């Protein structure tokens, strides 16, 4: 039975990731590219992304460690691709 007195109790596992892109412009480009991919199981995993001071910050929460691990791993794969794209095609971008 669910604990209705604490609605956040299901989100037991969490982690944070922060990547410094050196500018809000580059961080925002990566944010925009990744924001379109929603979580496949939003009832089991939540992801919150923000951009501030040239950094992309991502907070993950999940109901189980395996969902957190799978979501984080898949996200890092596409984050790596987006970062490499900016490195390759961004104006004078060096990370």
pLDDT confidence of residue 86: 85
> What is the number of domains present in the chain?
1
Residue 4 within any structural domain of the chain: no
Question: Quick check: 64 pLDDT over 70?
Answer: yes
Q: Write down the pLDDT at residue 10.
A: 77
Please give the structure tokens belonging to residue 81. Answer: 């691709």
Distance CA 93, CA 50 (A): 21
Q: Is residue 44 a part of any domain in this protein?
A: yes
Give the CA angle between residues 45, 60, 2 to the nearest 5°. Answer: 45
| Confidence band for 41, pLDDT divided at 50, 70 and 90 | confident
6 has a pLDDT exceeding 70:
no
Instruction: Give the residue among 75, 74, 41, 43 at the shortest CA–CA distance from 58.
Output: 75
The CATH number for 25's domain is 3.30.310.50
> Which pLDDT score is estimated for 4?
44
């Amino acid at each position: 039975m669910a604990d209705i007195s604490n609605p956040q109790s299901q989100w037991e596992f969490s982690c944070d990731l922060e990547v410094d892109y050196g500018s809000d412009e580059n961080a925002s480009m990566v944010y925009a590219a990744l924001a379109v991919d929603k979580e496949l199981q939003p009832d089991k995993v939540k992801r919150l992304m923000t951009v501030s001071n040239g950094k992309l910050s991502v907070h993950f929460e999940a109901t189980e460690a395996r969902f957190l691990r799978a979501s984080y791993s898949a996200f890092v794969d596409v984050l790596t691709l987006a970062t490499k794209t900016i490195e390759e095609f961004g104006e004078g971008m060096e990370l």
